[in-house]
Amino acid sequence: MTPEHFLGFGLGLRTDHFQEVIDTKPKVDWFEVVSENFMVDGGKPKHYLHAIREHYPMVMHGVSLSIGSTETLNLDYLRQLKVLVNEIQPEWISDHLCWTGAHKSNSHDLLPLPYNDEAINHVVDRINQVQEFLGRNILMENVSSYLTYTTSEMSEWEFLNEVVKRSGCQILLDINNIYVSARNHNFSALDYLNGIDKGSVRQFHLAGHTDYGDYVIDTHDHDVADSVWDLYRQALQRFGWISTMIERDDNIPPLSDLLTELDMARNIARQTLGQHNCEFINNG
């Protein structure tokens, strides 16, 4: 059996592929759109968004919520987000469990939080505010990281579990981010996967990285690495059928290359979990 909320296998919708998606209706079960790219009235991106939405389910993924920041939540941003939610009726909305700046300056980076009770209280309170404002629960994504805090008191997965338990949010688990952070901080990626509560994960991200030997950077400009495919197999074994997406943000290849990668995800899921639900779900 597969969970009711399993959407299948999706791609991040990228500008380079707008017209081809409309013209060819590729074998993609759903698309993830970056919310901030469509928070405008009218214009070409909105035109394409609506045209593609007519044929595909969508989920919305944000990069600007800054849920961990100590500044007040940006109500203008939340209002615009809500307008977009009402327009495209996504299956779910996600952002990152991170902070992006302080003192009115934006670092444009997804910065990790210290993993302690104070940060849990802070983040849970803010997630609750966002969920109340939007009238629905959201998904929080684990970020890749390149630093740790001396004030952390628990593992990242214990932190995530507690945030989920107390806020009712769910997890967008980025498999590549786990791999990157595990390599950078020398912990076991498998311990991370096995530490996350079953039932709390709604979506997987798969992406490429750049391996510099001593450290790994989450660049999203390569194919998914073999080591991340291996971890994906382990994630499927633990969490079962979870909606899976290839997240490519730079060095964007032809759509056909991403479709081949998506088929690889389908095949791995089929090999790992059996035949159910691996066929193309969305019929356009």
Which positions lie near Fe ion, rule CB under 5 A?
A: 174, 205, 247
Question: Phi then psi for 94, rounded to 5 degrees?
Answer: -135, 160
**Which of 180, 268 has the CB closer to Fe ion?**
180
CB of 88 to Fe ion, least distance (A): 20
d(CA 191, CA 91): 30
Judged by beta carbon, residue 50 or residue 185, the one nearer Fe ion is: 185
Total residue count of the chain as it appears in this document: 284
Question: Residue 280: is it exposed, middle or buried by C-beta count within 10 angstroms (0-12/13-18/19+)?
Answer: middle
Whole-angstrom Cα distance, residue 220 to residue 249? 5
Tokens (6 digits) for 94? 């996600």
Considering the complex, state which of residue 69 and residue 177 has its C-beta at the smaller distance from Fe ion: 177
Alpha-carbon gap, residue 106 to 133, rounded angstroms: 23
Shorter beta-carbon distance to Fe ion: residue 162 or 247: 247
Nearer to Fe ion, 14 or 205 (CB): 205
Distances in Å between the Cα of 142 and the Cα atoms of 82, 175, 205 are 23, 9, 10
Gyration radius from the chain CA atoms:
18
